[in-house]
Chain A
Amino acid sequence: MDTIVITGASSGIGLETALLLTQYGYNIIGIGRSEYKCKQANEWIISKNPKAKIKFYLADLLHQREVVRVAEQIIQYLNENCNGKLHAIINNAGCVRSWYMTTDEGYEHQFALNHLAGFLLTYKLLPALIKAKGRVIMTGSESHKGIKINWDNIMLYRRYNPLVAYKQSKLCNMLFAKGLNERYAAEGIHAYVVDPGLVNTDIGNKETGMLVNFIWSLRKRYGVSPAVPAKTYAFLCEQSPPPDGLYYYLCKEKKYSRQVTSQNADRLFALSERLCGIQYGKVQKL
């Protein structure tokens, strides 16, 4: 039984992806922050696919202690039920903010959830992923283009601009995937980023101010259903042998920003490791 962890599976892209993957027969562990929404999501998936193997764990992934706690819960489950193996993790939970807000550690919300949470969770689940020669998939975005990482002020402490913070966090997803491949390809790990395109979800209407809310409400009407990008995740989980690309849109490889270099990836790894208090393995030459 191949198991897949999906963060932010209680709504939007994560929810549709969870449903589709249960239809492929995967055993799904969804993570969400609201008990009510997770329960609803669970019921919705079962109603569409009565044979679905799905369970939800609760965690507010903004805060690192919650990430660590849920990771331990998952490891225990995998050890008891799946021979300690994890086929894939989909780091999809994400947010948009109008204001500079901080986590319990004092880290900026978009950077903390869109990047650091996946960085830390993947690290904690790495032994299980390596055991299964698994895949790590990030929900990225075209908005990772046209921007550089602001290394001296990565949380945009001065002059917070919500859009820049979002774009930068999506560039971090690209660099994280690249760095993972460079470190763990020899162990059979494959890391990818999916561009879902413009999708009709409520992401810009949650915990945002009037302006961001308004803009997103207009914009999302042009978005596709979350069932569309879900297929790309299923493609990346299903293909055997796993494809070699990095960035995928509608099940096809796509060009990415020139900022996605090994040098930037190493720099992001060093910084994120310090902020999470962890240490990934070294880069390996293949």
Chain B
Amino acid sequence: MNVLITGAAGGLGRAFANECGRRGYNLFLTDVNEEGLTCIKQGLERRFGSVVATATCDLTEADSVDSLLSIIDKYKIRFDMLLNVAGLDFEGEFMKRDREDLVKIVLLNNAATLRITHAVIKRRKPGRPFTVVFVSSLASMFPMPLKATYAASKRFILDLAVSLRHELKREDVNVLTLCPGGMVTTQKTMQSIKAQGFWGDITTNPLECVARNTIDRALAGKSFYIPGILNRILTFCSRIIPRSWVAAVIYWRWNNTQKKWLNS
């Protein structure tokens, strides 16, 4: 099984890499962080004896992706699975963000994801089933004031994935969308979860379980995965309550949390 993972040097990407390594899959890892890639490659080789190739790539640059693809083609690597993890998340009021930072969210979360997905499905192993995982977010379920751009970019992924799933079904491609709530990926997210107190503890899902379950489900042909019962309930509520109410509640909650976090 050959798997390509984007955003593999940190957080969820690294958790996926570990999970695949444990399963004995061969890995092709990319990220912008070269040092991080070297470390995780070394870790996987030492721990599981995995076969790992790495290449740094800025997915928002078409040229950078082209040179990544030329490496893949040079060694005639063909894939069984793509895990689209690379993504950006800034928080805060729309008008207080830097303009280009906002645009970057869409460039990476959306444009770059399209680019790499198209390219890698073209390089699937012939005659074998193929699996694509998109990492959306619980945020895609709701309009989210204070995380407006991010939530909308994740909504794009969700709708894209659902459509592609149908389009690609007869070509034996399974598409799964992962919509996680909070996960403890970095020191920073840990602090933010801490600031949310009780809510943070109960909406947080263990990263390693999310990675394991996602791959199990994707291979079993499932279409969706929302980790955590509470998150599934929240999703259900979001479907029956008017969207503008949901937005108001979320604004209230995030506003409080962010104040606490910034003052801590």
Whether the pair A209, B187 counts as a contact (CB closer than 8 A) is no
Q: Which A residues lie within 8 Å of B193 (CB)?
A: 209
**Which of A100-108, A193-201, A256-264 faces chain B?**
A100-108
Whether the pair A101, B184 counts as a contact (CB closer than 8 A) is yes
B40 at interface by CB-CB < 8 Å: yes
B92 at interface by CB-CB < 8 Å: no
B44 at interface by CB-CB < 8 Å: yes
Whether the pair B46, A277 counts as a contact (CB closer than 8 A) is yes
A101, A160, A207 pick with most chain B CB within 10 angstroms: A101
Over the window 192-209 of chain B, the binary record of Cβ atoms lying under 8 Å from chain A Cβ atoms (1 yes, 0 no) is 011001101100101110
Q: Given A210-B194, A210-B198, A105 and B42 touching (CB < 8 A)?
A: yes
CA distance A98 to B187 in the complex (A): 12
Whether the pair A105, B39 counts as a contact (CB closer than 8 A) is yes
Over the window 204-226 of chain B, the binary record of Cβ atoms lying under 8 Å from chain A Cβ atoms (1 yes, 0 no) is 10111000000000000000000
Q: Given A107-B43, A210-B201, A211-B201, A100 and B206 touching (CB < 8 A)?
A: yes
Whether the pair B42, A209 counts as a contact (CB closer than 8 A) is no
Number of A-B contacts (CB under 8 A): 72
B128 at interface by CB-CB < 8 Å: no
B97 at interface by CB-CB < 8 Å: no
CA distance A209 to B205 in the complex (A): 12
CA distance A160 to B206 in the complex (A): 9
Over the window 150-171 of chain A, the binary record of Cβ atoms lying under 8 Å from chain B Cβ atoms (1 yes, 0 no) is 0000000100100000000000
Whether the pair A104, B39 counts as a contact (CB closer than 8 A) is yes
Q: Given A207-B187, A207-B190, A277-B46, A106 and B40 touching (CB < 8 A)?
A: yes
Q: Which of B47, B200, B207 is A209 in contact with, Cβ under 8 Å?
A: B200
Q: Closest CB-CB distance, A255 to chain B, in whole Å?
A: 34
Q: Which B residues lie within 8 Å of A133 (CB)?
A: none
The number of residues on chain A lying at the interface, defined by a beta carbon within 8 Å of a beta carbon of chain B, is 25
Q: Which A residues lie within 8 Å of B39 (CB)?
A: 63-65, 103-106
A65, A209, A213 pick with most chain B CB within 10 angstroms: A209
Q: Which B residues lie within 8 Å of A98 (CB)?
A: 184
Whether the pair B46, A274 counts as a contact (CB closer than 8 A) is yes
B141 at interface by CB-CB < 8 Å: no
Q: Given A99-B206, A100-B207, A210-B200, A106 and B194 touching (CB < 8 A)?
A: no
Whether the pair A100, B43 counts as a contact (CB closer than 8 A) is no
Whether the pair A99, B36 counts as a contact (CB closer than 8 A) is no
B101 at interface by CB-CB < 8 Å: no
**Which of B13-21, B56-64, B251-259 faces chain A?**
B13-21
CA distance A191 to B194 in the complex (A): 38
CA distance A65 to B33 in the complex (A): 15
A275 at interface by CB-CB < 8 Å: yes
Q: Which B residues lie within 8 Å of A101 (CB)?
A: 184, 190, 207
Q: Which A residues lie within 8 Å of B44 (CB)?
A: 106
B17, B207, B208 pick with most chain A CB within 10 angstroms: B208
CA distance A105 to B9 in the complex (A): 9
CA distance A11 to B35 in the complex (A): 29
Q: Which B residues lie within 8 Å of A211 (CB)?
A: 201
B122 at interface by CB-CB < 8 Å: no
Q: Which of A64, A99, A106, A213 is B47 in contact with, Cβ under 8 Å?
A: A106
Q: Which of A104, A160, A209 is B40 in contact with, Cβ under 8 Å?
A: A104
B17, B21, B46 pick with most chain A CB within 10 angstroms: B46
Q: Which of A160, A207, A213 is B208 in contact with, Cβ under 8 Å?
A: A160
Q: Given A65-B35, A106-B17, A100 and B40 touching (CB < 8 A)?
A: no
Q: Given A100-B206, A105-B42, A209 and B201 touching (CB < 8 A)?
A: yes
Tell me the nearest residue of chain A to B43, going by C-beta. Answer: A105
Q: Closest CB-CB distance, B46 to chain A, in whole Å?
A: 5
B22 at interface by CB-CB < 8 Å: yes
Q: Given A100-B207, A210-B200, A275 and B187 touching (CB < 8 A)?
A: no
Q: Closest CB-CB distance, B88 to chain A, in whole Å?
A: 20
Q: Closest CB-CB distance, B193 to chain A, in whole Å?
A: 7
Q: Closest CB-CB distance, A156 to chain B, in whole Å?
A: 9
Q: Closest CB-CB distance, A191 to chain B, in whole Å?
A: 24
Q: Closest CB-CB distance, B162 to chain A, in whole Å?
A: 30
Q: Which A residues lie within 8 Å of B206 (CB)?
A: 99-100, 160
Tell me the nearest residue of chain A to B44, going by C-beta. Answer: A106
CA distance A211 to B201 in the complex (A): 8
Interface residues of B (CB under 8 A from A): 9, 14-15, 17-18, 21-22, 35-36, 39-40, 42-44, 46-47, 184, 187, 190, 193-194, 197-198, 200-201, 204, 206-208
Q: A99-B204, A107-B43, A107-B47 are in contact. List 10 more A-B contacts (CB 8 A).
A: A98-B184, A100-B206, A100-B208, A103-B43, A104-B35, A209-B193, A209-B200, A213-B194, A274-B47, A275-B47
16 interchain pairs, CB-CB under 8 A: A64-B39, A99-B206, A100-B206, A102-B14, A102-B207, A105-B40, A105-B46, A106-B14, A106-B18, A106-B43, A107-B43, A107-B47, A160-B206, A209-B200, A211-B201, A277-B46
